[in-house]
Amino acid sequence: MTRTITVAAAQLGPIQLAEPRAEAVGRMVRLMEHAHRRGVELVVFPELALTTFFPRHYLEDRAEADRWFETSLPSNETAPLFEAARRYGISFHLGYAEKTPDGHHYNTAVLVGPGGEIMLKYRKVHLPGHADYLPHRKVQHLEKRYFEVGDLGFPVIRAPLGGQQVNAGLMICNDRRWPEAWRVMGLQSVELVMLGYNTPSTNQDAAGFEAHHLRVAHSHLSIQAGAYQNSTFAVATAKAGTEDGCELFGNSIIVNPQGEIMAEATSWSDELITADCDLDRCTLGRTTIFAFDRHRRPEAYGRILEQVGAVEPPVWTPTAAGASTR
Ligand code: CDT
């Protein structure tokens, strides 16, 4: 008997600044209905799925940004999602801005079970962008202004999803570009990584050195490599389209443990893509080429934990060459 779970990436088209949460939630509930009709057991929504991607907007008074944060889940406005999950027996992943009771702010994702219970929470670790207004930028990216660095590590939990026990893990957007995030989850035997993203389709820092089409290619490359090198499925869901005049790419994907794309969104609007994931497909990689217990060499990886930025290597000299060939 296979351990198969049917998953969906529920891509969202743009959510404009003026769009109320209730409207966004209504669109998400419609995607859940659609998912139910297609036999889906787990739906993955994007990062910061309830509002526009507000870190593009600079507010001098940081506290004013609290209007974009949730202080509880479910709330009156998000309750319909939890009700839909119960109605259809579907689990879901939701990205949102979290304000804790003691006043901390995080870019957060939760995995919610079909009974509406929160089974896993993650707070984004790799926050891209900047904390202050940068006049040379056409569009700001103020994640470092509005969020604190997540304090929950990269958690994985064995959770009942769609009638299976699944080792499920969460990361958010920019984390997908960091192999460390994937490996920390790989070391917890993750079988299904869920992640949402909001990625501008233009790299303002590229200055002509990055071809436009590489934006999507780099996103896919990171997810496919992370899934392959850690023998896991991955569901990566975009918020897409032109939001507050700024274009976000879509191209949501579901990837298998061989790093192959099983399904990809073809619009930059609300769209559901699905795949049947046989979790036993995770076994091949983790018992052969990526059998961590047999092949990893942590004694050679010290710099990963000891260093943040890169240092220059020693300059070659005949003595140094002699040392390296001893
Ligand atoms: N949301 C998010 O993390 N986006 C980043 C783009 C940052 S560009 C300053 C990403 O890695 O997709």
Q: Which of 136, 197, 214, 253 to mutate to test the pocket of ligand 1 (most atoms within 8 A of CB)?
A: 197
Q: How far apart (Å, rounded) are the C-alpha atoms in residues 168 and 234?
A: 10
Instruction: Please tell me if the CB atom of residue 177 comes closer than 6 angstroms to any atom of ligand 1.
Output: yes
Per the residue annotation, which of 70, 124, 246, 282 is the catalytic one?
Answer: 124
Upstream peptide bond of 14 is cis (omega within 30 degrees of 0): no
Instruction: Please tell me if the CB atom of residue 140 comes closer than 6 angstroms to any atom of ligand 1.
Output: no
Atom from ligand 1 closest to the CA of residue 176: 11
Chain centroid, CA 115 distance in Å = 23
Give, for all 326 residues of the chain, the pLDDT tens digit.
Answer: 789 999 999 999 999 999 999 999 999 999 999 999 999 999 999 999 999 999 999 999 999 999 999 999 999 999 999 999 999 999 999 999 999 999 999 999 999 999 999 999 999 999 999 999 999 999 999 999 999 999 999 999 999 999 999 999 999 999 999 999 999 999 999 999 999 999 999 999 898 889 999 999 999 999 999 999 999 999 999 999 999 999 999 999 999 999 999 999 999 999 999 999 999 999 999 999 999 999 999 999 999 999 999 999 999 999 765 565 55
**pLDDT at res. 322:** 58
Instruction: Please tell me if the CB atom of residue 142 comes closer than 6 angstroms to any atom of ligand 1.
Output: no
Q: How far apart (Å, rounded) are the C-alpha atoms in residues 177 and 220?
A: 10
User: Each residue of 125-151: pLDDT tens digit?
Assistant: 999 999 999 999 999 999 999 999 999
Sequence-ordered alpha helix ranges (H) in 119-212: 143-146, 179-186
Instruction: Please tell me if the CB atom of residue 129 comes closer than 6 angstroms to any atom of ligand 1.
Output: yes
Decide: pTM greater than 0.85: yes
Based on the residue annotation, tell me whether 173 is a catalytic residue of this protein. Answer: yes
The structure tokens 């997908």 sit at: 176
Number of Cβ within 10 Å of residue 142's Cβ equals 23
**pLDDT at res. 326:** 53
Number of Cβ within 10 Å of residue 316's Cβ equals 9
Number of Cβ within 10 Å of residue 119's Cβ equals 16
3-state secondary structure of 169: strand
Q: Which class for 325: exposed (0-12), middle (13-18), buried (19 or more C-beta within 10 A)? A: exposed
Based on the residue annotation, tell me whether 47 is a catalytic residue of this protein. Answer: yes
Contact by Cβ (8 Å): 126, 178: yes
Gap from CA of 11 to ligand 1 centroid (Å) = 17
User: Each residue of 56-66: pLDDT tens digit?
Assistant: 999 999 999 99
Q: Three-state SS across 10-37?
A: EEECCCCCCCCHHHHHHHHHHHHHHHHH
Of all protein residues, the one whose alpha carbon is nearest to atom 1 of ligand 1 is 198
Based on the residue annotation, tell me whether 264 is a catalytic residue of this protein. Answer: no
Per the residue annotation, which of 41, 70, 121, 173 is the catalytic one?
Answer: 173
**pLDDT at res. 2:** 86
Gap from CA of 197 to ligand 1 centroid (Å) = 8
Q: How far apart (Å, rounded) are the C-alpha atoms in residues 281 and 276?
A: 11
**pLDDT at res. 320:** 60
